[in-house]
Structure formats: C-alpha cells, structure tokens
Amino acid sequence: MAEEKESTSIPLSQADNVADDPEDPAKSPPSSPNSSTRKACCYFLQSWVSKKFMTGCVVLFPVAVTFFVTWWFIQFFDGFFSPLYERLGVDIFGLGFVTSLLFVFFVGIFVSSWTGATVFWIGEWFIKRMPFVRHIYSASKQISAAISPDQNTTAFKEVAIIRHPRVGEYAFGFITSTVILQRDNEDEELCSVFVPTNHLYIGDIFLVNSKDVIRPNLSIREGIEIIVSGGMTMPQMISPIERVVRQNERIPLDRMM
C-alpha cells in the first residue's frame, strides 16, 4: 500500500508547473479582447499599406517608363548635332534635338520631290546589294512602311481577325495584299493576312478567303499598338466595319421617322 501511494503521488513543485503550463489549452488563460483587436488592426493596416504601395507602383511604372524612353530619345537625337554646336561655342540643351527634328522634316520634303526620290532610289540600290545590311534594311523598311502615311503597296492595308489555329479561336493580323485563286468552277479571292508571332516583323502569312476575314473598326496604328503591347491595349468591344456602316446608315432613317 505504501508503494502504491508513493507511485501515484506527485511532488508539489511539479504540480505547480503542470497547473501553470501555457501549452495546455484547457489550463491556459483566455486571450484578452484587446490583443485580438490589436492583431486585427495590425493585419488591416498591413493590408492597406501593401495595397496602396502596389497602386502607387502601378501608377508610377508607366510614367517612369515613358519619362525614361523620352529622355533617352531626346539625348539620342540631341547627340547628332550637339557636338557641332559645341565647336561653335553654343551650349543649349535640346538644340541638337530640335535640329534633328527639323532635319528629318526637310528630308521628308526632299524625298517627296523627284530629285530626292531618285537619290533615295540610288542609295537603296546600293544598300540592297550588301550581304548583311540588306536584311536589316528590308525588315526595318517593312515596319516603317506599315505606319507610313502614304499607304503604299507594301504597307498594311487593314486590320484583320481570322479563325486560327482551331475552330472557335481567332488570330489578330494585318491584310497585306489580295490574290485571285483560279479554279475550275470559279475564281476565289484570297486575302494575304500577316499574323505576327513574336515581334512585329516576325510572323506567319495565311491565305484566307475574303469572306472569312473579319475586318474590325480598328486603324493600322491601333492594331500595331495591340501587337506591341501584347494585347493589353485591346478595346473591350470590337465591331466589324460592316456593322458600323449599317448602324451609321440606320441613324439618319430613325431621325427622319
């Protein structure tokens, strides 16, 4: 009997430790409402600060990129004529940039004339016979021709949406030309649609029936912005040109009635 009492007895110090054990949920004191409120306030403040910081980053990022690109653009073109002004003793920031813009403007006027077009054709003839330079020149010329205000034969004609690569999926591209496919029954008009894959000057060419080509109400520059931005500048609603024309024709009739 004495041995059983000794085995079941617990020292007083150990009993006090068990009673004060904070890890025991049954014996630990309940948390005060002040601590719960403090944790909730800290969580709310942390979430609010994080959200506002990300909002500031989203707002300032395009501004910073625009400022950086514009500053680089100004310094790049200013560097063409600024050494000339430095030799003349004129040190005005931006004067070389303004001179570069005027130079580009007068080059456009000169090339528009018959003499300038002839000089440009001779220079282009030499460039196209250089082994490596001609490929770079051809690619850059295609890009510049796409946004050219003259809209010559090598420029993008219209923005197009075609069904590709599977049924129910569409691809965004540009109509570059049209071709007539001669068949035994009847001729078929096909549109040459350029669909960029990575950069604007790299892509695939598809010959699509002109009836299957969707022509949205987007300009060439808007289409280029959509391609360059990865689709982030895509408008929320796109309407075919035929539908826009029908709506514009219907409005005067409704007003007359």
The CATH number for 173's domain is 2.30.30
The pLDDT score that the predictor gives to residue 10 is 46
Q: Is residue 21 part of a domain?
A: no
Residue listed under structure tokens 């007895």: 9
pLDDT, tens digit, for every residue of 213-229?
888 888 888 888 888 77
202 φ/ψ angles, rounded to the nearest 5 degrees: -120, 125
Say yes or no: 187 and 233 in one domain.
yes
Neighbours of 127 (CB within 10 A): 14
Which residues of the chain form beta strands (DSSP E)? 158-163, 170-181, 188-196, 203-209
Q: Out of 77, 104, 127, pick the residue that ends a domain.
A: 127
Q: Is residue 110 part of a domain?
A: yes
pLDDT, tens digit, for every residue of 87-122?
888 878 788 888 888 988 998 899 888 988 898 889
Q: Is residue 50 part of a domain?
A: no
Q: Out of 127, 149, 173, pick the residue that ends a domain.
A: 127
Cα separation of 37 and 28, whole Å? Answer: 20
Helix, strand, coil % over all residues of the chain, rounded to 5: 55, 15, 30
Say yes or no: 166 and 221 in one domain.
yes
The pLDDT score that the predictor gives to residue 228 is 78
User: Collapsing DSSP states into helix, strand and coil, what is residue 237?
Assistant: coil
Say yes or no: 105 and 174 in one domain.
no
Q: Is residue 123 part of a domain?
A: yes
Pick out the chain residues at pLDDT < 70: 1-33, 142-143, 145-155, 198-201, 244-257
Domain count, the chain: 2
The pLDDT score that the predictor gives to residue 155 is 65
Q: Is residue 166 part of a domain?
A: yes
Say yes or no: 164 and 221 in one domain.
yes
Of 203, 181, 199, nearest to 190 by C-alpha is 181
Say yes or no: 177 and 232 in one domain.
yes
Cα three-residue angle 50-56-61, rounded to 5 degrees: 125
The pLDDT score that the predictor gives to residue 251 is 58
Q: Which residues pair with 177 in a beta bridge?
A: 192
Contact present, 96 and 81 (Cβ < 8 Å): yes
Say yes or no: 115 and 162 in one domain.
no
Task: Give the domain extent around 231.
Answer: 158-238
Q: Is residue 100 part of a domain?
A: yes
Q: Is residue 188 part of a domain?
A: yes
